[in-house]
């Protein structure tokens, strides 16, 4: 039985539940029904009253390090600006809007946030927004950041950090987030060269208590094996999605076998990357399955991602609360084996 088949045959209970801020999101129980579970977006047409938002717990749970988190998380790259991210002339997002999105994510049960010190626009910083919106932090909230890349004050990219630069970036994240330790730090990798020296620096900072857990981003299998010789790796963040990088399938399976979370980035944007998916044309198969469930193609892509294995965590980002609720609701969608087989043809068509 494959990892995604195992996930499909034991789906969590999709019943919407609410958790108070400050409490651990409930772990979903195994479901029993055969009918597909759709989102609040779909249920809106069935009732004249406003739909009850779906809780993140509907996506199931994974223990990330030492904390159980719903498999639907939130990526903050798009929060500091509207439009294209990580560019010098980005248009800053309204501050109150950004803060409201973060607070709503936690209200919906999201307990895994992805951020970085280089996520900023001329007037906004993702880390500063997180600090302002959510500090003091709940004990069950995992904030994952990444180091390696950096941008100067004008927003231009610097060279990837060496050992000393990595220490400075960890300290910068600690300062911006207002913390005495970082829950999870992912080392972003460029190319296929050894990661031993740079990952070794982070392993030292972990032993010193500044970092609790380590992960890797944009990594190759041999680099993952090398890093695991130095310290435990709990997370791999690589570009992956429906129709994007099917060559990553084997690494996704390998991570599942090793108990390592696989966290795709650009799972929705695909090759558009920082620009976002926008008006990208969808495959007819994607549209057909989405219509069958009464959901959007974006929600279907998120649902497909979660069906790749119980260890696969999604971190879709947005600066809009309605989009946030729709993204979280995608965690309640159940796809049949026939639908997964149809979407597999779309996935490998890109190869």
What is the set of active-site residues? 119
Pairing of strands 112-114, 91-92: unpaired
Q: How far apart are CA 163 and CA 126, in angstroms?
A: 24
Structure tokens at 63: 């223990």
Residue 268: is it exposed, middle or buried by C-beta count within 10 angstroms (0-12/13-18/19+)?
buried
The DSSP letter of residue 178 is: T
Bridge partner list, 92: 81
Contact call for residues 293 and 300 (beta carbons, < 8 A): yes
Residue 349: is it exposed, middle or buried by C-beta count within 10 angstroms (0-12/13-18/19+)?
exposed
Strand stretches in 227-328, DSSP E: 235-237, 261-262
CA angle 49, 53, 55 (to 5 degrees): 155
Q: How far apart are CA 58 and CA 56, in angstroms?
A: 5
CB within 8 A of 69, min separation 6: which ones? 25, 61, 62, 63, 111, 112, 140, 142, 313
Contact call for residues 62 and 255 (beta carbons, < 8 A): no
Contact call for residues 295 and 323 (beta carbons, < 8 A): no
Reduced to 3 states, what is the DSSP secondary structure of residue 215? Answer: strand
The DSSP letter of residue 270 is: G
Q: Which of 62, 252, 79 is nearest to 142 (CA)?
A: 62
Which residue, chain included where needed, has tokens 């996930």? 7
């Amino acid at each position: 039985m494959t990892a995604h088949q195992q996930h499909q045959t034991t789906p969590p209970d999709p019943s919407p539940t609410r958790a108070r801020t400050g409490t651990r999101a409930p772990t979903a129980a195994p479901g029993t029904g055969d009918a597909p579970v759709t989102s609040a977006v779909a249920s809106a047409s069935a009732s004249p009253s406003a739909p009850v938002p779906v809780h993140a717990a509907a996506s199931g749970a994974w223990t990330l390090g030492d904390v159980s988190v719903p498999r639907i998380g939130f990526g903050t790259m798009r929060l500091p600006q509207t439009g294209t991210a990580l560019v010098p002339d980005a248009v800053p997002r309204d501050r109150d809007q950004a803060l409201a999105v973060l607070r709503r994510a936690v209200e919906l049960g999201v307990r895994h946030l992805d951020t970085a010190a280089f996520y900023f626009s001329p007037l906004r910083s993702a880390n500063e927004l997180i600090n302002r919106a959510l500090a003091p932090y709940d004990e069950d909230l995992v904030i994952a950041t990444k180091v390696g890349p950096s941008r100067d004050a004008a927003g231009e990219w610097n060279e990837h950090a060496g050992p000393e630069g990595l220490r400075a970036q960890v300290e910068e994240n600690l300062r911006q987030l207002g913390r005495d330790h970082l829950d999870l730090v992912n080392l972003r990798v460029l190319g296929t060269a050894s990661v031993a020296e740079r990952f070794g620096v982070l392993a030292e900072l972990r032993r010193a208590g500044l970092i609790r857990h380590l992960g890797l981003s944009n990594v190759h299998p041999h680099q993952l094996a090398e890093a695991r010789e130095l310290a435990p790796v709990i997370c791999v963040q690589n570009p992956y999605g429906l129709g994007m990088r099917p060559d990553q399938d084997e690494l996704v399976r390998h991570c599942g076998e090793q108990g390592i979370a696989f966290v795709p980035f650009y799972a929705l944007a695909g090759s558009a990357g920082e620009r976002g998916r926008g008006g990208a044309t969808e495959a007819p198969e994607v549209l057909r399955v989405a219509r069958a469930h009464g959901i959007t193609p974006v929600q279907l892509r998120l649902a497909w991602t979660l069906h790749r294995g119980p260890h696969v965590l999604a971190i879709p980002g947005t600066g809009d609360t309605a989009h946030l609720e729709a993204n979280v609701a995608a965690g309640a969608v159940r796809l049949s084996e026939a639908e997964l087989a149809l979407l597999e043809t779309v996935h490998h068509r890109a190869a």
